[in-house]
């Protein structure tokens, strides 16, 4: 089968489409013929080994010393079940599915992959495309799990910083689903799109500082890790909560210090999701309550160009790779 192999750490050009052995499902696994996958910020971060200096040694040990240990990147997939292991009962050959392989497995940027039936895999509704299905797991799951930590109540004021990205576009829609009044912060070119997916108010960060408009928020979700931390906390209500999606060790230390000094709740770091969360998100997309935002769709042989585009840091929603016909 063909796969995009990360031959070493570096720029997008280190990715090479190569022939690799096609996997065979174990007794508890399903073999998925992948029709669509994606390129996420996380994929690009691993490919380029884009991690803080303070995290360099543990990251190398975790990811691989000279190149990614999981050399086929990609965490989001949608496709068809081509074969099942002898103990599999949840899925059958021909089922349309969507899944996340997770950052411990990767493997989505290929024509086939195997996943355990008990993993993060759910049936794809017939009324959503494979492209839409692929874009659900990464941004959707991360945003859902972070926002649930805030226990959003109806009519609370929620600000999403980085509202046009893969996490942000889901966060805006999920916060609205939970009944919040949502302010989205993004660049000029994305104001209309963020408003169209449900934001009650949009702020152009290139022209206006959201911390200077006199508003206080119950929840602030920094979906891209670029909000001014101390100034953001100053706009948070005393009982509010600040959510940080890119909780590096240095950032977590700073957040812990600010929390200690202010008494306000700051949450960052990894989130843990369950297959029920993926099913919940998929049902919202199926019902039209949440609409996946897809910036660009690239053919598989242009995955290097897709990485270059994501590296620019200006994508809107998801970047999808089409593998099968």
- DSSP string for residues in 68-121: -SS-B---EEEEEEEEE-TT--S--TT-EEEEE--TTT---SBSEEEEETTSSE
- End residue of a domain, out of 230, 251, 267: 267
What is the reported pLDDT for 102? 85
Q: Does the residue 287 lie in any domain?
A: no
If asked whether residues 256 and 151 sit together in one domain, one would say yes
pLDDT tens digits in sequence order for the chain, 325 residues long: 999 999 999 999 999 999 999 999 999 999 999 999 999 999 999 999 877 666 667 667 677 777 888 999 999 999 999 999 999 999 999 999 999 998 788 999 999 999 999 999 999 999 999 999 999 999 999 999 999 999 999 999 999 999 999 999 999 999 999 999 999 999 999 999 999 999 999 999 999 999 998 899 999 999 998 888 889 999 999 899 999 988 666 777 787 888 877 878 888 877 789 999 999 999 999 999 999 999 999 999 999 999 999 999 989 999 999 997 6
If asked whether residues 118 and 150 sit together in one domain, one would say no
If asked whether residues 49 and 129 sit together in one domain, one would say yes
Please count the structural domains in the chain: 2
Q: Does the residue 37 lie in any domain?
A: yes
If asked whether residues 155 and 87 sit together in one domain, one would say no
Q: Does the residue 189 lie in any domain?
A: yes
If asked whether residues 96 and 219 sit together in one domain, one would say no
How far is residue 147's CA from residue 151's CA, in Å, rounded to a whole number?
Answer: 7
Other Cβ atoms closer than 10 A to 266: 25
Q: Does the residue 284 lie in any domain?
A: no
If asked whether residues 215 and 303 sit together in one domain, one would say no
**Which CATH number fits the domain that encloses residue 232?**
3.40.50.720
What is the reported pLDDT for 82? 98
What is the reported pLDDT for 49? 83
How far is residue 75's CA from residue 302's CA, in Å, rounded to a whole number?
Answer: 18
What is the reported pLDDT for 54? 61
Q: Does the residue 281 lie in any domain?
A: no
**Which CATH number fits the domain that encloses residue 129?**
3.90.180.10
Bridge-based pairing of strands 96-100 and 121-123 is antiparallel
- End residue of a domain, out of 233, 252, 267: 267
If asked whether residues 225 and 173 sit together in one domain, one would say yes
The three-state secondary structure class of 307 is helix
Q: Does the residue 205 lie in any domain?
A: yes
If asked whether residues 155 and 116 sit together in one domain, one would say no
If asked whether residues 113 and 145 sit together in one domain, one would say no
What is the reported pLDDT for 213? 86
How far is residue 75's CA from residue 103's CA, in Å, rounded to a whole number?
Answer: 7
If asked whether residues 157 and 171 sit together in one domain, one would say yes
What is the reported pLDDT for 253? 79
If asked whether residues 120 and 146 sit together in one domain, one would say no
Q: Does the residue 41 lie in any domain?
A: yes
Q: Does the residue 277 lie in any domain?
A: no
If asked whether residues 6 and 69 sit together in one domain, one would say yes
Q: Which domain holds residue 147?
A: 140-267
């Amino acid at each position: 089968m063909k796969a995009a192999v990360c031959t070493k750490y570096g720029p997008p050009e280190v990715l090479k489409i190569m022939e690799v052995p096609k996997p065979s499902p174990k007794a508890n696994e399903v073999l998925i013929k992948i029709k669509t996958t994606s390129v996420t910020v996380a994929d690009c971060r691993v490919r380029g080994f884009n991690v803080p200096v303070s995290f360099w040694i543990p990251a190398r040990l975790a990811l691989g010393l000279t190149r990614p240990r999981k050399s086929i990147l990609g965490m989001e997939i949608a496709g068809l079940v081509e074969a099942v292991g002898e103990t599999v009962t949840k899925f059958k050959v021909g089922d349309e599915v969507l899944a996340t392989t997770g950052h411990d497995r990767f493997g989505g940027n290929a024509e086939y992959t195997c996943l355990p039936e008990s993993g993060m895999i759910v049936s794809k509704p017939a009324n959503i495309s494979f492209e839409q299905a692929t874009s659900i797991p990464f941004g959707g799951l991360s945003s859902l799990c972070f926002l649930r930590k805030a226990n959003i109540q109806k009519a609370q004021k929620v600000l999403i910083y980085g509202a046009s990205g893969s996490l942000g576009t889901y966060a805006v829609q999920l916060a609205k689903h939970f009944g919040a009044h949502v302010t989205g912060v993004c660049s000029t070119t994305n104001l209309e799109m963020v408003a169209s997916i449900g934001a009650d108010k949009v702020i152009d960060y290139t022209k206006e500082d959201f911390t200077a408009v006199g508003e206080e928020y119950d929840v602030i979700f920094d979906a891209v890790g670029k909000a001014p931390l101390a100034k953001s906390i100053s706009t948070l209500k005393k009982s509010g909560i600040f959510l940080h999606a890119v909780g590096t060790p240095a950032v977590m230390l700073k957040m812990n210090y600010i929390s200690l000094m202010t008494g306000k709740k700051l949450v960052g770091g990894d989130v843990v999701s369950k297959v029920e969360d993926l099913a919940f998100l998929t049902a919202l997309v199926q019902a039209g309550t949440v609409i996946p935002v897809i910036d660009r769709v690239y053919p598989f042989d242009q995955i290097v160009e897709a990485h270059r585009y994501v590296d620019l840091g200006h994508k809107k929603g998801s970047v999808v790779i089409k593998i099968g016909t």
